[in-house]
Amino acid sequence: MTAKILFVTGIDTDVGKTIATGWYAKKLAAQGFRVITQKMIQTGCEKIADDIVQHRKIQGIDLTEDDLVGTTCPYLFAYPCSPHLAAELENCQISTALIQQATEKLAQKYDYVLLEGAGGLCVPYNQSETTLDYIQQQNYPLLLVTSGKLGSINHTLLNLMVCRQYHIQLQGLIYNRYPLGDEMINRETERYLQQYLQQHFPTATFEVLDKMV
């Protein structure tokens, strides 16, 4: 039996998506599951994806053989920009078939594969397709990472509306409380989003990342 593959994205940059991915992987592992994280595409680094390194630190494990040979990050680009531009700068065309093959290879070894995207739902990986298209094509359940910073209610609801419009299954909403910022806004945002989720996505979980990892 192959793994359950969950796609992880965030409402915006710097919302804590990479931290949340490692945290969720560690949480699943503590329940007895075999878990691996994967990065769809990484820009702005070389050799081994920075986000994969961060995942392993949070999980408390060493880099795996699949990390070292690139299975957990099929595409790595040096320039820190959108994947479609980073690929063009290196005269590379991103093949979603290659990403899918790498994910399926991992799925044969683990109970869960957490596939983290690059940026948000509508980040392009070529001139005509975005991460949203890939999630739709693969029919992956989604973990959406949000936070209590000012503006996050709007961004979160827009992402959730996209999920409804494109019939993407929402596995869960991960609410990252850090950095804390304005405590009143943080708490009210958490309450509001939890209420919204219960009303519109009753089968999805509401996860709170409530400590530094």
User: How many other C-beta atoms are found inside a 10 Å radius of the C-beta of residue 100?
Assistant: 15
Active-site residue numbers? 39
| Confidence tier at 46 by pLDDT (50, 70, 90) | confident
pLDDT in tens, 65-90: 999 999 999 999 999 999 999 999 99
Q: How far is CA 125 from CA 31, 62, 98, 155, in A?
A: 34, 29, 13, 21
Is 176 part of any known ligand binding site? yes
Q: Of how many residues is the chain composed?
A: 213
Is 53 part of any known ligand binding site? no
pLDDT in tens, 102-150: 999 999 999 999 999 998 999 999 999 999 999 999 999 999 999 998 8
Could you tell me the domains of the chain?
4-209 (3.40.50.300)
| Confidence tier at 212 by pLDDT (50, 70, 90) | low
Q: How far apart are CA 206 and CA 198, in angstroms?
A: 9
Is 109 part of any known ligand binding site? no
175: phi then psi, degrees, rounded to nearest 5: -100, 110
Q: How far apart are CA 17 and CA 27, in angstroms?
A: 15
pLDDT in tens, 149-176: 889 999 999 999 999 999 999 999 999 9
DSSP 91-122: T----HHHHHHHHHHHHTT-SEEEEE-SSSTT
